[in-house]
Each structure stands twice: as structure tokens, then as C-alpha cells.
Structure 1
Amino acid sequence: MDGRAPGCRATAERDAVVGRDAEVERLSALVTDASGGGQVLLLSGAAGMGKSTLLEYAARRAEEAGRRVLRASGRESERDLAFAGLHQLLRPVLDEADHLPDRQRRALLGAFGFVPDAPDPLLTGVAVLTLLSQVAERAPLVLVLDDAQWIDSASADALAFAAHRLDDDPVTLLAAVRDDGPGFGRGLPTLVLPPLDPTASRRLLDLRAPDLTGRMRERVLEQAAGNPLALLELADHASLDPDDHGPLPVGRRLAAVYAARLAELPEAGRRALLLLAAADVEDPPDAVLALLPDADDKAWPAVEDSGLIHRAGRHVRFRHPLARSAVYHAAPFDARMEAHRALADALRDEPDRRAWHLAAATLHPDAEVSAALEQTADRARRRGGYAAAARALARAAELRPGRDDSARLLADAAGLAVFTGDLPWVEELAGRARARTDDAAMLAAASLHVGRLSALTGQHAAVFGGLAAIADDLAAERPAIALDALAAAAVLRFYSGEEFQRREIDRLLPRLPAGPLREWARIVSDPLGSRELAPRLPDMIAAAGGRSTAGDREGGGDGAGAGGRPVELTALAVAAWVLDETPLAIRTFDEAVESWRTDGPLPDGLGGVVALAYFEYGRWDRARAVCAGLGALPAAARLNHAVACAHAIEAMVVACQGDAAGARALADEALRLVDPLESRSVAVYARRALAAAAMAEGDYEAAYENARVVFDADGAPVHYHASYPALPELAESAARVGRQAEAIEIVERSACTLARGGSSRLRSLVRHSRALLAEPEHAEPEFLAALADPALERWPFERAQAVLKYGEWLRRRRRIAEARPFLTAAYDTFRRLGARPWSERAQAELRAAGLDVDATDPRAFAGLSPQQQQIVRLAARGLTNREIGERLFLSPRTVGSHLYRTFPKLGVTARSQLRDVVEAALGSAV
């Protein structure tokens, strides 16, 4: 049970350690540190937390860095053998003992029984220290000590003596100890390994058990509770029987170990452990504790001595998730059923737990138990627990007597499981529903759930065909379901940008009932042909529970509407964004998010659109937060399109912020995850990010190459919505590299298309692009036309780019006084957004126009919160995020987040500028 075999290892190709990024970073720094000083670190954690895996990683990393590595592993059987552990560790270098001072040599060899001298503990410790220092003279030395809790006390004392005196020697000691084992190295620096977080647990399970899906996968994750060894052990032996309930079984070896311990316990002790195992809670409630023997019962000492549980007063818990599983499955079947019945009877005041225990004790269809589980599912759904609700409905379906009712529950479970992002589970539930009914509506509903989630995997052509077929088949008999299917197909049309899909949607729409959903599908599929619907959006949003005044389109409104229907609000926000009613879209997204907080998460498939809207509106921090949330989805490893979309949009943001390398990495990963013909939208976003990154570095050739491929060879947009915003980047880079003629052809073709249904924003982008490609003496009318509409301030970055370029044009015409207001306005916007390359460009233009622009404002520092001021001061002194976090009791991520938010406020783009900010603030205070 030391976790050494599975631990928390990731793929063989990368040989990474899952879920331990901070620990890996710290260990890597320790074993590769070239400063020459001694280092000591203990890894502490429960059995199975991956300590051995981390030590193995550190050892390999040390060897790659040219360090010599000595290893030892404690053994419980050798705890009483003096100096056994030390001998194991030093055996490869014992020949070096000949070079020790004689007394030290004899003390060390006497400790190992090689000479008759009685060991002197102090002299032995000095000998160990000298020997290690001696060996480290030729190459830095790394000592790796696993299971140190079992090291004999004599070895532990000698190693502890040396560890406290390694200050000037290039020796690193790494040791792993259990948090419940005998003490080792008290007072030494310790890194405690907590359980893996849910995201890391899912990733580890995906890597080691990729075929484990659906409800069984969720049960493994839940019962392992973040323990890597438990996670993999339970996954290896998970039953696929959908009727299984209670702890999952462990392997035969572990089962035999635990069975031997159980056999030695009195009957009352075994029954108490079975009840605790069946109860499946960390700290059992009073109703469960009342079923156990009294605190002074003679059974408890034996149970505690078995090492299976930890008891402190009335708190009783298993020491390891695998112990609970082994205890449960070691009991006879009838005893397990009786335990569940007893728990159900005791938990009458906890209906959800009671329902599950009744289900565990029910072997045949039972309408009452099924209904109780359905009520449990409803309560879980209202709390946002979609996975729990889906599991409850699936189990309720198994116990529901009628096949049609059972199929309905399974289809509903599939619909709830969509929100978990677990496509295999949704497919499993939908397949079980289809197997139990011939009802066309129910069959279509099950397929629709699968299609909605499959859309996020990138299989757009195949999924579109299935959804369109449902709409075609049910248009007459089940128009509501048909319209749902076609609306989902419209989303795929947006993802793929496939023109054939637009024609298919246009063919089917007239057969379906009129209403907001039909208009929504038309907008998403063909925004240029739906522009006349834009004025109706505020009223449609009001009908869904959002703001009601038409004036909201211009920026009015007084807050989020209460009680809005989040699904409809989100869909309408998407429609508003597609039609470039961005302020209305932003407010509606915000309202939808507020509504979702009471019911669950925002639908994952819409996250990319939300992030894009925030980006275009100038809320870049919010856009990156949405992208980060998409990347952290539990099922992100399987939802390639959703994750690629998040990467591409974040790449656009970071490119504009000046992190060209980061943008390229994100964009390249997005392009790797998708087929550009299946996911044209993502491919275009990624190319726009690459173009922006190249422009930030002044590489206009690369910028043009990437901007050019978002249009076809004949100049048509690769994607009917995503390509047009790239026109200014295409135009400027073309002008810089002498490709004006080709770019003019694309811009003019776009102008003809957008004249028939494009928004004022898109027409402005066309005028901006024409200005950049025009002969210098003809550019001004186009610039003025591009900037004429004040409503274009809704897209601050795009407008600031146009303002800057017009200011540059004016300055080059020596119209300095006219240029200054434009350059200043652009500079202020870029600083506020944190668009470093652009603010630096504007700053350089202002200086050329005779204005000395100071990037730092002392008043900005005073406007920070006290905590932010502390962080900035420490960062200005050169401390890392981790060092700052240790001083202020914050996580490094929190420190980084504060700095990320303060940089734009302070007008800086790098840590190296913070010292000037702090000094300026101090000077102004004086």
C-alpha cells in the first residue's frame, strides 16, 4: 500500500506527474540547483499519494542534470536492525570510507559490523557527513530515501545529524514519509502531499484507464477521494454492472490483506466496520453512529489496533479509501444488504442518503424506491449537481417497473449528463434509453443529447447530419423536438462554417413553427441574412427574463433581471453577439451567468462565444477566466473542439497583451486539436492570434501569411463570421510587405458582401482596411469614415487601433497638433486594456509628436488595495510569486492574479518596471 507502482504517473511519452505541478517544480529546482548549498526536503502524505513517484521523478531529473544519486528504501521488517537503512544508502560509496579520518572510518565501519569497534553515534554522524561531502566533491549528490518512516532509528539519527549540517555542501536529501507513520526528520522542511484535485484525478484516470467511462468512472473518482493509488486500484477492478452500489472492489492481493485483519476482529467489530463502509461518509452522522457499539464496548480496541480506522471521540473514519472498499466486499452479500437496510431505516431525516441505501438493498423493480431516487435527482439538479442527478435518475430507471417510464428516466439522465461533458457516459445512458422504447420522440431526445455534446468533440459533419435528419423526420409530427434538433445543428454550422449546412438549415426552417428559437437558428446560421432581426432582440431577451428596454442596445439598463431563464438568455446573448450587438450580448451573458449560479454551470459549448464577446468588449481578464474554465472542464481531454476554441481565443488575448510566445503555443495547440475543415471557426481564431503575435513582434511577413489564410484563394472568407474582423491585420501587414493588390481584392470583395447585411462594426473595419491600403494622399476620407460612428467605442481595441493609425498618418503628414489627441486617446485605451505592444507603439508616436509620456502614474499605486501594494513592493524587490505568497500567506496563483490585474492600472508591462512605480509613489508621498 505504498503507492509505488501506480502512484500518479502520466503518459510514458512525457513521463510527467499528474496533478503535482507545484511539487514537481520544487523538486526539479532542488535537484538541479547549482548554487552549491545543501538542501533537505521531506515529502509527507497518506499511503498512495504518489510520494514514491515524485521521488522517482526527482532521481531521474537529478541524473539527467549530472548529479550522483544514492537511494534507499525503508522496510518495516528492518526497523529493529541498527544502521540497516544507512548501509543500504551508502553501500555504493563505502569504498570512499578509506579516505575518511581514521576515527570516523572505524566508527562508520563499526556501525556496519565490518570492524569490531563499538559505534559512537556522534562520531558516526560526523563520518556520514564527511563521506557525503567527500563524494559530492566530484559531482553534486542527491540522496533519495523512500518509506523513511520504516528506517531504523540509528540510521535516522545519523542521517538527521548530517541533514542539519549540509549548508555548504552540494548534497540534497529527499525523503518520503507517511503522515501516519513513525516520525522521521522532525524539524526538517516538509512538503505535504494533499489529495489530487478533481481535475487532476480525472486526467490521471483518463491516462491510465481510458476505457472506463460513464457512471462507473464517476464512482471511481468519488470513492478514491483524490488518492492516486486508490484511484487506479479501484479502476483496475471496477465492475461494469450498472446495478452495483456501494464501494467498488479492490484486487485480490489487497482484499486478502484486509480479510486477514478482519478475521481477527470480534463479530461486533466486523459489523461496525461494515456499517461504516456501507455508510460511505467521511464523518458519519449521529444516526449512523447510533448503530455502532457504545464507545466503551470491548470491540473497539481490537478494531483500532487493526489499523483500519482512526477514531477520535465520536469521529470514526477509515484510514484509506481502499480499506473501506475491502471491508465492504469482504462481507457476505446478505450482510451488505442488511447493513444498507439498517442505514436506510436510521436515515429517515436524510431523504437523499436514505433513497440510495434503499436502492442498494433493492434487487427487483420497486416503484416507490425509484420515485424516491427521482426526487433525489431533482434536488441535486436544483443545487447544480448534474452528475449526481444523472446517476440518481439512471438508478431510478433500473428500478422503475414500466419500460417506457424507465426509458424516459434514462433519457432525462442523459440530458443532465450533458452538463458534465462526459460524452461516453451520455452515449451509454442514451443507448440504454433507446433500448427500452420505440417512442420516436424519446428516441430523438436521446439522440439529441448525444449530438449536443458530440458537437464539442469536433465531429461536426457527422453530428450535423444526424441532427438534421431528426429535424427532417419529426418536423410534421414532433415540431418542437425537430426545432430543438435544428437549433443544435445551427451551432454546428457556426463551428464548421460549412456552406452546405446553411443551405440545409434554410431548407428545413420553413417547415418548423415560428418563434424565437427558429429565428435564433437563422441568426446563428446566417447573420448577414438576418440583420433585420437585431431590433427585436431586446424584447426577446425581456421575454426570457432579461432587461426589457430597447434602449439597452445602446448601453442603458439598471442591473441583471431577476428570475431569468438562463438557457434562453444565453442563447439570445449568442444571437446578439453574432449580430454585433455586443453591449447587449455582454449584459445578457452576465444575467445568464447570474441565473446559472442558482442552477449549475453555464453550458460548456457556449463558453467560447462568451470569451470572444468579453474580449471584443475590452474585458480581457474576464475572457481569459472563461477560457481557463473551459480548459479545466472535467472532460476537457475528450472535448477537443471546446478546448481548442478556448486556447485559440486566449491566444488572441495574450497576443494583444504582448506575449507572442504564449500566443503561438496556445494557437498551435488549438490547431493541433481540430480538423480545420471541421472547425473552421477555431482555425480562423487561431490564425488571427498568430497574425496578432507576429505583428506584436514586427514580423509583418508572418502576420500577412496568417491573416491571408483566413480567406480562401479567391478572397472569400474561410468562415462567414470569424474571418471579417481580421481585415485590418491583413491590410496593414500587406501594406508593410508590398502585397497591397491582393489585399485590396479581398477587402473589396468583403465590402460588397457586407454592404448587404453587415453591421456598422464590420463596415467600419472595411473602411479602416481601405485606409491602410490606400495611397497616402487618399487615406484620410477612409479613416474619417471608419471613425465616424461613436457607437464603435463598444469595440475599444479595434477602435483604438484605427485611432492610432490615423494619428500616425496625421503625424507623418506633419499635422502634429491634429495627431496628438488621436495618439493620446489610443495610448490611454491600450494602457487600460493592457495591450503592451500597442501602448508602446502609441507612446513612441506621442514622443515623436513632441509629448513626453510617462508610463507610470504615482496616483495609480495609491489607488491599489493595501494587499496589492504589498505584492507590488515585494515584486519590485525581485521576489518570485511563490516567495511573495509565502510571506503574505497567499497562493502563487493568487499573487500572479493580483499582479496581472495591477499591471494595466499602473501602466507597466513587465516586473522590471515595478521598481520605478514604487519609487515614484514614494517620491510623490514625500
Structure 2
Amino acid sequence: MPLVGRARELRRLHDLLAVLPQHGGGLLLRGEPGIGKSALLAAVSRSASDRGMRVLRTTGVQSEARLPFAGLHQLLWPVIDQLETLAPPQRHAVLAAFGMTERETPDLFLIALATLNVLSEVATAAPVVIVVEDAHWLDRSTIDVLAFVARRVESEPILLVGAVRDGFDGGGFAELRIEGLDDEAAAALLDATADLEPDVRARLLAEAAGNPLALVELPLATAKLEPGTLLPAWLPLTARLEHAFAAQASDLPEATRRLLLVAALNDGASLSEALMAHENVIATLEPALKARLVVVEGEELRFRHPLVRSAIRQAASLPERHAAHAALAAVVALDRRVWHRAAAVVGPDEATATELDWTAAAAERRGSLAVAVSALTRAAELSDIPARRGARLLRAAELAFELGRSDVVVRLLRDAEPLPLDAGERTRMAWLRELFATQLWSGTARTEALIEIADRMRVEGDPDRALKWLRNVAFRCWWSYPDPAAEALVLEAAARVPVAPDHPELVDTLALAAPVQRGREVIAELTRRPIAGNTHAAYHLGGASTAVGAFSAELIAEAVAGLRAQGRVGLLAQALVAQAWTSVYLGNWVLGLAAAEEAIALSQETRQLRHAVAGSLAAATLHALRGDGAANTDAAADAAERVLLPMGASPLLSLAQLTRGVGALGEGRHFDAYVALRRIFAPGDTAHHRFVRWWALVDLIDAAIHSDHHDQARVLVAEFEPILEQTGAPLLDAALIYARAVLGDDEVLFAGPISGYPLIRARLLLAHGAWLRRRRRLADSRVPLRAAREAFDALGAAGWGERARQELRASGETSRRRTPDAWDELTPQELQIAQMAAAGLTNREIGERLYLSHRTIGSHLYRIFPKLGVTSRSELRDAVG
């Protein structure tokens, strides 16, 4: 029977199928239970199959939400042979996730990339349509993988269509709201379903309110009433439907109802499991088949609709559910058995609790922390020894912290607090409590308590954890406003940790805790430390270089490359933010934009909201420096403030003001730039930051000079001179060379050597040329002005380049506009791919680094080659060279 009243929805779905060979995507069908989402999924599946497309399905089952990657296993099982096409790390990651091999904990993003590549391989034969029924009941790990895939199939012939109930977070994907049928369509569907008396027909139309499932199912319930019986008072719609299903089940024989309950509680669709758990009597199933509550497909027993399963579970008593779970525990596979056993147990059961411990450890190895938390929490409930209960709750809290679930952490810690814990466990509990008591941006009021925890870790024989904790405390110091006493406490605690003086994490801690007092020492360490191949060292020393104003592109690039290779996506997102901001000052703006865009995407995927904001501000700043159409610094700063202010992340407001100031300066709005940047330098202002001031100094000096704030600029220079003397920070050195020259009246000041900061050097050349021109030394002025113009053009600083040309014209020399070259036509991601391809990387290797499929990389190169006027990789290498 064709769908009634769904022309709009079907048209949207068929449009997606029509463009699928050239363009992929994702769509969520959202609506209340019974509204017709499943029928639309069935329709799109049929249409896709008729077009010769490959349809892969997975269905969320409420009781399977604790099984890691259960939904993904269901999806990929029909194409499991395609795993052989993957690179070994990806293949092993998927096999480990499915429990088919014993490996170290696989990274979720490596599993997601493997899934994308498998689907991409399948799509080489025919476009792929992924149909996800009841996505809201999928396990969390599968949801994360599918979200990863859906964000990366724009260039793939892959379409993901899922059905979700209201209340499920769609993650920002395109959605199609499924509403109830209009009156005409509802009447047509009801009439096609049943022949009803006029009064009953009118009542059901009113009660169903356009819900298709209600229009189909409610007549079945009313058909059982005696002729002439008044219709009962109905419950709210969803409960009403479940009541209708339960009413159908209540008429079945007792043995059949027990069998359906077993099937409803089973976390698989195996018919044999259900029958074995119910005495293997096939005859008991016949009444349920005749009532159209279930269907048998091969060896699978499936409920005709999720509400049937819900109704049967809901109608069963607690003892009945316990008995059904116990029956299933006797027949299902080992990895599922423990969950049914745990559900069947009443009261403490240490043996089952121990099995759940093993289940939690296995889930953690397979990368499914949410399942591990559930297993440990249930194990704690079954513990008959208080100390074991406390240890399990604490371990669950630590894993929940890694998941970013602060609400779960707080609840678990509260439950563990009164239980007997050993000294080490108490220290770890204090650590977690302090994390939530102080948060990241809360200042250093609790510095002493935080350091006490680090000292306890050290005394208890865990110096590595103590140093890691101290580094977190120092990170708070850099991003807040510590007094000298607080900084001294951190430095003294760091000195007590028994590690080598050149330990990268120790150097990072010193840089973050006291960038002024220990800056010169840290900078010296950065210049002599070999880091090739040591990702841990590169990550921490790169962070230290940023903290002390000695930006190191090499260290951060080494960290980014290493974290890519290791698949540590959370840290990679942070390193990419650092790379983006470092590129602002070191002049590689192409790299910076690519890093910023990737940082934003990965930060959002790993739920690091602050880093996503920092990445978006870096991108806006880079666009402003390039003077391109994507620059809208005020809008970017406004958006950042809307996110940061409610969460109390006020130190990051300094980056928002920096972005505002750079944008205003680039547009010649010098007073606006001065107002925005001055806030970073004003103690007491919410955007004040002691060390971001170093980043903003050159821009504030420029804004001050051109808005008649010369005296204020000279005060700032005097304030920073002793800081430079103490730290030797290269960024401050370049900034003060520039400031002294533009505020002074001596040509010799323009000769100050600036290296490593090409934009500051180019601006100094521009200022020198303008200074000479104003003194009527026109011929002399042209030399620095030409050098400034060439430097700005090389950087891609369109606005600054135009200023240099204006000065040259004023000196009497004609200067043509810069002609954009082919590279300017590429997006940041295309530039990144082009550079990697030119370096000799294959499409697969580039895809692995950028978390994209190799087919997507090929599609990008297909567009890149014509833009650059090349036809081969060898020509691309020459173009890059």
C-alpha cells in the first residue's frame, strides 16, 4: 500500500537519492512514536534498492545501548569482508571494537575512519544508503562513529538516513520533521484500514490526531469490544498505543506472553535464543504471529514495531522480568550473558559484580568508556563489600570524567564518599573533586589545595601522575590571574617532583606557571632539546614555547604529526589550535587556516568547546590578516562571547578582543581597534590577560598611534621593557623594536633586527618608508616601501600590501595591484591536501592524516588540479616548489 499524505517527505528523500551518485549527505527523520518514520525509512530503502543502490541497515535496541559498537557491528556485518581492504591499524581497530581480536584499546576515531573507508569501498560498486532505525537507542560508540561518517560523505556516494524520537540530540545535522497527517490523509488511511461505524470513526480520527500508527492500530483494539459497547476513556497518545499493543498481547496464551517477554528483553534478534530460553516450544510462537505482533525472518525474531517491544516490557511485572533475564542468561553469548545475569539478580552478588568488572575492562579496551561506566556502576550496586563498592564507583567516575560527563562524575563521587577507600583512592577522589570545584578558568584561589593533592601523589610513589597534575595547575595559572605567592607554590612543588630538569612536562609546567620568572630558562631549554620522533616532548615543549612568547612552528608541527599518527584526536585538536595561533605570528597563514578549520571540527567532535572557540577566533584573525571576504571578526568575537560568558571562561575573552582589534585595524578603524585591544591590557577588565598582552602589543601600539594615544603607548613600552629584559621573549623583542621605532624620532631605531616574525618586520619596513616620505626623502623611502610591499604580498596580507602601494604612489612610484595567483583559489583544506600530495603522500595516507576517506581525497585533488593548471602529481610538486 502506498504511503498516504507523505508526498513532501518522499520528495525530499527521493531528491537525496537522485543526487547520490555525485553528492552524499545525511538526514534525520524526527518525530513522535508512531508518526511514520519507519514507514518512510522502508520507502527510501525500497526506492534505493530499485535504483541499484546498496542498502545497509542498523537498528537501535534499548537493551543493546550498553553493548559497545553493537549497532556498528550490525551495520558492517554484511560487508565485513571489506575489512581486508583497510590498512592494518584500521582493520585491527574494528576487529578489536567487535571483540574479534585481542588488541590494545582502539581509538574511536580510528574505528570511525575505518568505517568511512569500508563504506567508501562498498560505494565504488554502487551508491550506499545507510538506514538507521531508532537511532536514539543505538549505543553511544556507534552514534559517535555514524556522526563522524555523516560529516564526511559530502564527496562520497553515501547517504545516511536515520529515525529519531524527540529529545535526541541530532548533532546539528539536517533534519526533516515528520508531523501528523492532515485530516484528509488521516481519514483515507483509517478508511483503508478498517470499516467503522461513523461515531467510532470520528472518535478514532480525533484521538489519533494524525498519528499513522494510531490510525492503523487503534481499530484493532476497538474491534475486540462487544457490539454496542461504549469506547473507553483513552490515555495520552503514546501510552495509548502501548496500551493497545499490550492489550493485544494480554489475549495471548500465557506461554506465548512469556516467550514475547523473553524476546523483548533479549539484546539480540536470535529466534533460537528466545526459544531455548523458553523451553524451545515453537508452538508458543504461533499466536503472536497470527496477532501480527512479531515476524520471523530466517533465524531472526523481530517485533513489528518498537512500541510492541516497549509495551510488552512495560506490562510485565518485576518478578516476570527477572525470570526472563535469568532464562536469557543461560543461553546467550558470554559478552551479553553478564548483563542479563545482572538484571536478574536481586540483592548483593559479588560473583556477578566481578564479571561486570571484567566486562568493564573489556569495554575500556574496545574504546567504549560509556559501557565501562555502566558496568562498573552496576557492579558497585551488586557489591557486598563496601571497599570494593567504593573502588568501583571511583573507577567509574574517572572514566566518566574522560567522557566529559561531569553530571555522572559528581553523582558517582557522592555515592563513593562515605565508603572505605584506601589512601591512593582518596587522593584520586580529591583530584576529581578539585577538578570540578575549581574548573579550568576559576583563577588560583585553591592553588594550595591543588598542590597538596599533587604532593600526595608524589609521596604515594606516583611522580608521573603528580607532575601531570601540577602541569594542569600551572595551565590554570597561565589562563588566570595568580599572585606571586601562588606562582611560587607551583614552582616549589615542581621542584619536589623527582624528574630530570629537562623533562618536557616539567619545562611546560615552569613555562605555564611563571613565564616571566622562568622564561629565559625555558627558552634556553627549547633551543637545545632534540625532539625528533618524540611526540610527548614536542607537545609539551611546543606548549611551553607559546607560553613564554617564543613560538616554535617546528615543535608544534612535530606534535601535530605525532598525534595524527597515534590517532589521539583530543590532543590533536588542542595542538592544531596552538598551530593556528602560532601561524598568525610566524606568517604561515595557509597552514594556520587549515589548522584552524581542522581544529574547530575535531574540537566539536571531541566535545572540547573552549578549543573550538579558540580555533574559530584564530580562523577569523587569519582571514582578517589576509583581507579576504571570509573575515568578519566582530561576528566571530560576538559568537565566542555568547559561548564563553555563560561558562565563566573569561580569560578566553582576551582572544575575542584580539580578533576584534586585528579586524578593526585591518579595516583602518584605528579608534575601534584601540578600544578593543586596550581591554586586554586593563587589569580588572573581564578580557584582561597578562600574557595575551604580549600577542596584542604591536597591534595596540599601531592603533594607539593612529588614534592619538601616543602617551598611553609610551607607558606600555616602559612597562614591557623590564619584562623583556627578564625573559628575553622573542615575540616581545620584535614587538618592542617596532614600538620604539614608530614612537621615536630617530631613523636608527628602524634598523632593529627582527627575525622570525615576518608581519612585524614588514610593518616596520612600511613604517620606516612612511617616516622617510613624510620628511620629503622620497627616493630613500621607496627602498623600504618596496620591501614591505613584497613581504606583504608573500604573506598574502592584501590590506597591508595595499597600504604599502599607497605609500609608494605617494612617493612618486607607480605600483600595480598584486595579482592573485592560483593558490589563492584553493580552500585551506585543499591547500593542505595539495601540499601533502606534493610531498609524495598517497590518497590513503592523506586520508588517514586528515580523517577523511581516500575517495574524498581523490575528489579534492580532482578539483585542485584544474585550479592550479596541473595534470599530474609531478606537476603539482613543481607548483608547490
TM range (shorter): 0.5 to 0.7
Secondary structure in 2 matching 1:823 = helix
1:261 aligns with 2:231: no
1:378 aligns with 2:364: no
Query: Which amino acid is the alignment partner of residue 730 of structure 2?
Result: S
Q: Quick check: 2:356–2:376 contact (8 Å CA) kept in 1? A: yes
In 2, distance between residues paired with 1:503 and 1:372?
47
- Between stretches 431-440 and 285-294, larger displacement belongs to 285-294
Alignment match, 1:629: 602
Q: How many residues align?
A: 649
Residues 599-640 of structure 1 show CA distances to partners (whole Å, capped at 9, x for unaligned) of: x74398888556534655633221232134334555x7xx6x
1:820 aligns with 2:786: yes
Give, in angstroms, the shift of residue 688 of structure 1. Answer: 0.2
In 2, distance between residues paired with 1:294 and 1:809?
97
Give the alignment partner of residue 693 of structure 2, picking from 699, 708, 723.
Answer: 723
Alignment match, 2:472: 488
In 2, distance between residues paired with 1:673 and 1:734?
30
Secondary structure in 1 matching 2:571 = coil
Q: Quick check: 1:807–1:823 contact (8 Å CA) kept in 2? A: no
Give, in angstroms, the shift of residue 727 of structure 1. Answer: 0.9
Residues 336-415 of structure 1: pairs in structure 2 closer than 5 A: 336-348=321-333, 350-351=334-335, 353-415=336-398
Q: Quick check: 2:370–2:403 contact (8 Å CA) kept in 1? A: yes
Give, in angstroms, the shift of residue 853 of structure 1. Answer: 4.8
Distance 1:538 1:867, change over 3 A: closer
Query: Which amino acid is the alignment partner of residue 259 of structure 1?
Result: A
Alignment match, 1:526: 514
In 2, distance between residues paired with 1:866 and 1:479?
46
1:760 aligns with 2:696: no
Alignment match, 1:447: 430
Give the alignment partner of residue 773 of structure 1, picking from 743, 759, 762.
Answer: 743
1:665 aligns with 2:649: no
Q: Quick check: 2:701–2:739 contact (8 Å CA) kept in 1? A: yes
Query: Which amino acid is the alignment partner of residue 49 of structure 1?
Result: R
- Higher RCO (CA 8 Å, separation ≥ 6 residues): 2
Residues 450-488 of structure 1 show CA distances to partners (whole Å, capped at 9, x for unaligned) of: 433666564445665652454577776778476555433
In 1, distance between residues paired with 2:684 and 2:828?
52
Q: Quick check: 2:657–2:676 contact (8 Å CA) kept in 1? A: yes
Query: Which amino acid is the alignment partner of residue 31 of structure 2?
Result: G
Query: Which amino acid is the alignment partner of residue 30 of structure 2?
Result: M
Alignment match, 1:331: 316
In 1, distance between residues paired with 2:386 and 2:543?
38
Query: Which amino acid is the alignment partner of residue 503 of structure 1?
Result: E
Distance 1:806 1:828, change over 3 A: farther
Query: Which amino acid is the alignment partner of residue 334 of structure 1?
Result: P
Query: Which amino acid is the alignment partner of residue 246 of structure 2?
Result: A
In 2, distance between residues paired with 1:439 and 1:868?
51
Alignment match, 2:103: none
Give, in angstroms, the shift of residue 530 of structure 1. Answer: 2.0
Distance 1:430 1:666, change over 3 A: farther
Distance 1:716 1:306, change over 3 A: closer
Unaligned runs of 5+ in 2: 1-8, 16-25, 49-54, 61-134, 144-161, 170-236, 834-851, 870-881
Q: Quick check: 2:491–2:510 contact (8 Å CA) kept in 1? A: no
Secondary structure in 2 matching 1:373 = helix
- Between stretches 334-343 and 440-449, larger displacement belongs to 334-343
Give the alignment partner of residue 671 of structure 2, picking from 677, 701, 711.
Answer: 701
Query: Which amino acid is the alignment partner of residue 560 of structure 2?
Result: D
Q: Quick check: 1:45–1:178 contact (8 Å CA) kept in 2? A: no
In 1, distance between residues paired with 2:305 and 2:524?
59
Q: Quick check: 1:610–1:626 contact (8 Å CA) kept in 2? A: no
Secondary structure in 2 matching 1:436 = coil
Query: Which amino acid is the alignment partner of residue 529 of structure 1?
Result: Q
Give, in angstroms, the shift of residue 705 of structure 1. Answer: 0.8
Distance 1:765 1:780, change over 3 A: same
Unaligned runs of 5+ in 1: 1-19, 27-43, 53-75, 77-146, 150-175, 187-191, 198-217, 234-249, 540-548, 870-889, 908-913, 915-926
Secondary structure in 1 matching 2:479 = helix
Give, in angstroms, the shift of residue 424 of structure 1. Answer: 1.2
Query: Which amino acid is the alignment partner of residue 331 of structure 1?
Result: A
Query: Which amino acid is the alignment partner of residue 578 of structure 1?
Result: A
In 2, distance between residues paired with 1:632 and 1:479?
32
Distance 1:655 1:508, change over 3 A: same
In 2, distance between residues paired with 1:467 and 1:804?
49
In 1, distance between residues paired with 2:45 and 2:572?
49
In 2, distance between residues paired with 1:739 and 1:196?
66
Residues 849-860 of structure 1: pairs in structure 2 closer than 5 A: 850-853=814-817, 855-857=819-821
Give, in angstroms, the shift of residue 509 of structure 1. Answer: 1.9
In 2, distance between residues paired with 1:475 and 1:868?
43
Residues 413-471 of structure 1 show CA distances to partners (whole Å, capped at 9, x for unaligned) of: 22222222221111112222223135443233123124336665644456656524545
Given the two structures, how large is their TM-score scaled by the length of structure 2? 0.60
Alignment match, 1:742: 712
Given the two structures, how large is their TM-score scaled by the length of structure 1? 0.58
Q: Quick check: 2:443–2:481 contact (8 Å CA) kept in 1? A: no
1:49 aligns with 2:13: no
Distance 1:231 1:715, change over 3 A: closer
Give the alignment partner of residue 432 of structure 1, picking from 405, 409, 415.
Answer: 415
In 2, distance between residues paired with 1:482 and 1:272?
55
Residues 523-672 of structure 1: pairs in structure 2 closer than 5 A: 523-534=511-522, 550-552=529-531, 557=532, 560-561=533-534, 570-579=539-548, 580-591=550-561, 593-594=563-564, 597=567, 601-602=570-571, 609=578, 612-613=581-582, 616=585, 618=588, 619-620=591-592, 621-634=594-607, 645-657=614-626, 658=628, 662-672=632-642
Alignment match, 1:164: none
Q: Quick check: 1:659–1:693 contact (8 Å CA) kept in 2? A: no
Residues 216-266 of structure 1 show CA distances to partners (whole Å, capped at 9, x for unaligned) of: xx9978599775536479xxxxxxxxxxxxxxxx98555423322322445
Alignment match, 2:261: 274
Alignment match, 2:493: 509
Give, in angstroms, the shift of residue 858 of structure 1. Answer: 5.7
Query: Which amino acid is the alignment partner of residue 375 of structure 1?
Result: W
In 1, distance between residues paired with 2:490 and 2:636?
35
Distance 1:304 1:457, change over 3 A: farther
Query: Which amino acid is the alignment partner of residue 543 of structure 2?
Result: V
Q: Quick check: 2:259–2:285 contact (8 Å CA) kept in 1? A: no
In 1, distance between residues paired with 2:577 and 2:831?
32
Query: Which amino acid is the alignment partner of residue 547 of structure 2?
Result: V
- Report sequence identity in percent: 24
Secondary structure in 2 matching 1:737 = coil
Give, in angstroms, the shift of residue 743 of structure 1. Answer: 0.9
Secondary structure in 1 matching 2:428 = helix
- Between stretches 390-399 and 860-869, larger displacement belongs to 860-869
Q: Quick check: 1:374–1:396 contact (8 Å CA) kept in 2? A: yes
1:829 aligns with 2:802: no
